[in-house]
Amino acid sequence: MTERQRLMSRKEVDRLRCIQAVVSKQLGQADATRPLGLSVRQVKRLVACYRQPGASGFVSGHRGKRPNNAIAAPFGRRDARRP
């Protein structure tokens, strides 16, 4: 993993298992599209991602960060009763 330990979501673990089966040739890329709900092109991208950094490549790098389109705190939710 990277500097800090990152936990994988259930969806990421399922993707990892499916891609590991593709890499070990137990499952074809086209066969992996159905359980993952992805296209063959996306499966190829995930296989390349798995081969480069390993399992940590499946963990989102944006997890725990503030989104770019977040509204600043002073301008956040207002009371719905106010006009």
Query: Is 82 inside a domain boundary?
Result: no
Residue 34: give the domain boundaries.
8-55
Q: How does pLDDT run across 66-83, given as a tens digit for each residue?
A: 888 887 777 666 555 555
Q: Which residue has the higher pLDDT, 4 or 32?
A: 32
* Mean pLDDT within 11-23: 87
Query: Is 37 inside a domain boundary?
Result: yes
- Number of folded domains that form the chain: 1
Query: Is 33 inside a domain boundary?
Result: yes
pLDDT, position 15: 85
In Å, what is the CA distance from 5 to each residue of 14, 34, 55, 57, 59? 19, 30, 12, 13, 11
**pTM for this entry:** 0.60
Query: Is 39 inside a domain boundary?
Result: yes
pLDDT of 11 over the 50 cut: yes
Cα distance between the two ends of the chain: 49
